[in-house]
């Protein structure tokens, strides 16, 4: 079993380049199967979830290679339209392949992705939308069997909640459909815009991405293209937070400033000094951080749920009381037990968590049970006194490229051992 061993207390200083965004690369890899020809994706992060996506593409008959952050995908007619249960279970996001396979083959069989460490994570909005687009759906023994006998047609779809995955799946199913699809109350996340940008380069007709109504006019064919995956705003938030919580100073290059606005303003409220120029963010944090009165997770452009655990770990030693409200997922406070073990003072009631700043944190042995919760444990370990041991690294490796190398380059005492 691999572990991260951290001897906390070092001020992080230095400069790093931000990795490409996992949550943008995954739907774009799925979209690449809609094309005829070759797509080349640059800045594709080297993560276990990306390898899972590539295994799915290869299993469907695409030919993919991936090295040096460059993914090359050759696609044409699919050889298969079913994803095996084993591949579906490797990552929850495998469900975004359903829309793309349907778009291309008009039929698909996938297994139910089930719940995950963040809660139940239903896909009712995805399936309801496909039904509106002419897809018959049966669920048998955990498999979702989908077929559009008369092809997929455009539809007017209003989402009950701006779900990122449902918006992406509908976009993927509709770009090659007959007629026009309108998604009302669509998700506005920057990763949706990156997917739309890639699809437009391939020949798709999409407008309104980044707003609450996306309109897609189906086209006959899509062609491969070259695309740069956008920077990972949550990895960026993680590295800035770690520097902030250790009283450090960091230059984050190749970042996406607009996409990180709500997060940067919380760090400023906590007393960090931040300046930006082009795609570079400079952060300096000196004295003890200040508590932040209210952090409520919301769909974009609100404060991202993916950064909730990360900023919580950052504010554990802040002066005063910080109040969190998690509004997106049911079970996104699982990191709190580990933070308590490290000396934090946190009380949870329902979706609210109250963090009373403490003077010190202490190293402890903790286990990551989800990706961002694991990142929060690393941040707490970096600002704690003494040694922390973190297991459950398979969760952290889903979203961070060489996390220990990045932190070591910033001056942290951190290593990975077997
Ligand atoms: N929901 C439903 N029904 C649906 C779809 C969603 O009830 O059919 C609910 C979910 O249960 C959840 C809420 O809607 O309570 C939001 O879910 P959403 O569909 O927006 O999330 P997602 O597409 O499954 C993506 C990211 C997550 C990120 C969320 C929210 C990817 C691959 N995943 O998930 O990223 O937290 O959007 O921003 O893009 C992560 O990177 O750590 C991560 C979990």
How far apart are the CA of 211 and the centre of ligand 1, in A?
18
Boundary of a domain, candidates 204, 228, 252? 228
Boundary of a domain, candidates 196, 228, 260? 228
Domain co-membership, 268 together with 166? no
pTM exceeds 0.95 for this model: yes
Q: What percent of the chain has pLDDT over 70?
A: 99
Please check whether residue 354 is in contact with residue 346, taking contact to mean a CB–CB distance below 8 angstroms.
yes
Q: Whose CA is nearest to atom 6 of ligand 1?
A: 163
In angstroms, the CA 297 to CA 303 distance is 5
**What is residue 115's predicted lDDT score, i.e. its pLDDT?**
52
- Tabulate helix, strand, coil % of the chain (nearest 5): 35, 30, 35
pLDDT at 71 over 80: yes
Domain co-membership, 240 together with 208? no
How far apart are the CA of 40 and the centre of ligand 1, in A?
26
How far apart are the CA of 355 and the centre of ligand 1, in A?
25
Domain co-membership, 215 together with 288? no
Determine the residue of 20, 137, 165, 331 to mutate for testing ligand 1's pocket, defined as the one with the most ligand atoms within 8 A of the Cβ atom: 165
Atom of ligand 1 nearest to the CA of 187: 20
Atom of ligand 1 nearest to the CA of 304: 38
Atom of ligand 1 nearest to the CA of 128: 8
Helix (H) or strand (E) holding 251, with range, is: strand 249-253
**What is residue 118's predicted lDDT score, i.e. its pLDDT?**
75
Domain co-membership, 356 together with 316? yes
**Closest by alpha carbon to 183, among 200, 204, 162?**
162
Count of the separate structural domains present in the chain: 2
End-to-end Cα separation, the chain, in angstroms: 6
**What is residue 329's predicted lDDT score, i.e. its pLDDT?**
93
Which band of pLDDT confidence, cut at 50, 70 and 90, is reported for residue 91?
confident
In angstroms, the CA 306 to CA 260 distance is 12
**β-bridge partners, 167:** none
In angstroms, the CA 413 to CA 228 distance is 33
What stretches of 106-163 show up as alpha helix (H) in DSSP?
A: 124-132
Helix (H) or strand (E) holding 266, with range, is: helix 261-269
Q: How many CB atoms lie within 10 A of CB 65?
A: 11
Determine the residue of 19, 21, 23 to mutate for testing ligand 1's pocket, defined as the one with the most ligand atoms within 8 A of the Cβ atom: 23
Which residues have CB under 6 Å of ligand 1?
A: 23, 26, 93, 121-126, 161, 163-166, 305-306, 328-329, 371-372, 399
Which band of pLDDT confidence, cut at 50, 70 and 90, is reported for residue 297?
very high
Determine the residue of 19, 56, 121, 304 to mutate for testing ligand 1's pocket, defined as the one with the most ligand atoms within 8 A of the Cβ atom: 121
- Positions marked catalytic: 116
397 contacts: CB under 8 Å, gap ≥ 6? 47, 48, 403
Domain co-membership, 237 together with 190? no
How far apart are the CA of 61 and the centre of ligand 1, in A?
28
How far apart are the CA of 286 and the centre of ligand 1, in A?
35
Atom of ligand 1 nearest to the CA of 328: 15
pLDDT at 52 over 80: yes
> What ranges make up the beta strands (E) of 290-332?
295-296, 321-325
pLDDT at 116 over 70: no
Domain co-membership, 200 together with 337? no
In angstroms, the CA 236 to CA 259 distance is 10
Domain that holds residue 387: 3-19+231-417
Please check whether residue 150 is in contact with residue 106, taking contact to mean a CB–CB distance below 8 angstroms.
no
Which band of pLDDT confidence, cut at 50, 70 and 90, is reported for residue 114?
low
Q: Whose CA is nearest to atom 22 of ligand 1?
A: 165
Domain co-membership, 181 together with 71? yes
Cis peptide before 254 (omega within 30 of 0): no
Q: Whose CA is nearest to atom 15 of ligand 1?
A: 329
Boundary of a domain, candidates 179, 208, 228? 228
Domain co-membership, 34 together with 113? yes
Domain co-membership, 211 together with 317? no
How far apart are the CA of 357 and the centre of ligand 1, in A?
30
In angstroms, the CA 299 to CA 166 distance is 13
30 contacts: CB under 8 Å, gap ≥ 6? 53, 96, 97, 99, 100, 168, 172
Helix (H) or strand (E) holding 6, with range, is: strand 3-7
CATH code of 11's domain: 3.65.10.10
Please check whether residue 194 is in contact with residue 210, taking contact to mean a CB–CB distance below 8 angstroms.
no
What three-state secondary structure class fits 65? strand
278 contacts: CB under 8 Å, gap ≥ 6? none
Domain co-membership, 321 together with 363? yes
Atom of ligand 1 nearest to the CA of 330: 15
Domain co-membership, 214 together with 101? yes
**What is residue 200's predicted lDDT score, i.e. its pLDDT?**
98
332-371 tens-digit pLDDT = 999 999 999 999 999 999 999 999 999 999 999 999 999 9
- 367-398: b or e for each residue (b if 16 or more CB lie within 10 Å)? bbbbbbbbbbbbbbbbbbeeebebbbbebbbb
1 class by beta-carbon count within 10 Å (0-12 exposed, 13-18 middle, 19+ buried): exposed
How far apart are the CA of 248 and the centre of ligand 1, in A?
32
Domain co-membership, 151 together with 197? yes
Average pLDDT, the chain: 96
219-273 tens-digit pLDDT = 999 999 999 999 999 999 999 999 999 999 999 999 999 999 999 999 999 999 9
140 contacts: CB under 8 Å, gap ≥ 6? none
Q: Whose CA is nearest to atom 28 of ligand 1?
A: 306
């Amino acid at each position: 079993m691999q572990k991260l061993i951290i001897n906390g207390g070092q001020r992080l200083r230095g400069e790093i380049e931000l990795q490409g965004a996992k949550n943008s690369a995954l739907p774009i890899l799925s979209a690449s199967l809609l094309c005829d020809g070759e797509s080349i994706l640059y800045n594709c992060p080297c993560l276990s979830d990306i390898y899972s996506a590539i295994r799915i593409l290869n299993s469907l008959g695409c030919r993919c290679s991936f090295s040096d952050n460059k993914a090359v995908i050759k696609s044409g007619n699919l050889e298969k339209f079913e994803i095996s249960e084993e591949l579906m279970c490797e990552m929850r996001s495998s469900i975004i392949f359903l829309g793309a396979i349907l778009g291309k083959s008009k039929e698909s069989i996938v297994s139910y992705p089930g719940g995950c460490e963040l809660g139940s994570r239903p896909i009712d909005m995805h399936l309801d939308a496909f039904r509106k687009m002419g897809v018959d759906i049966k669920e048998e023994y955990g498999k979702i069997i989908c077929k559009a006998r008369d092809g997929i047609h455009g539809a007017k779809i209003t989402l009950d909640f701006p779900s990122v995955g449902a918006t992406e799946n509908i976009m993927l199913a509709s770009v090659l459909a007959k007629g026009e699809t309108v998604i009302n109350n669509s998700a506005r996340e920057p990763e949706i815009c990156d997917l739309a940008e890639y699809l437009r380069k391939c020949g798709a007709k999409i407008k309104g991405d980044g707003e609450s109504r996306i309109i897609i006019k189906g086209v006959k064919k899509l062609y491969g293209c070259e695309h740069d995956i956008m920077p990972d705003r949550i990895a960026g938030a993680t590295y800035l937070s770690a520097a902030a919580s250790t009283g450090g100073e960091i230059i984050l290059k190749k970042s996406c400033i607009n996409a990180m606005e709500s997060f940067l303003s919380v760090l400023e409220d906590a007393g960090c000094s931040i300046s930006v120029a082009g795609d570079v963010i400079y952060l300096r944090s000196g004295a003890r951080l200040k508590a932040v009165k209210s952090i409520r997770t919301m769909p974009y452009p609100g404060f991202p749920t993916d950064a909730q655990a990360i900023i919580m770990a950052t504010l554990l030693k802040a002066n005063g009381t910080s109040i969190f409200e998690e509004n997106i997922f049911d079970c996104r406070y699982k990191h709190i037990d580990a933070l308590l073990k490290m000396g934090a003072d946190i009380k949870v009631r329902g979706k609210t968590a109250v963090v009373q700043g403490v003077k010190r944190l202490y190293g402890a042995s903790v286990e990551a049970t989800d990706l961002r919760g694991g990142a929060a444990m690393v941040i707490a370990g970096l600002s704690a006194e003494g040694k922390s041991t973190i297991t459950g690294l398979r969760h952290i490796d889903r979203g961070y490229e060489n996390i220990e190398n990045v932190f070591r380059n910033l001056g942290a005492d951190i290593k990975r051992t077997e």
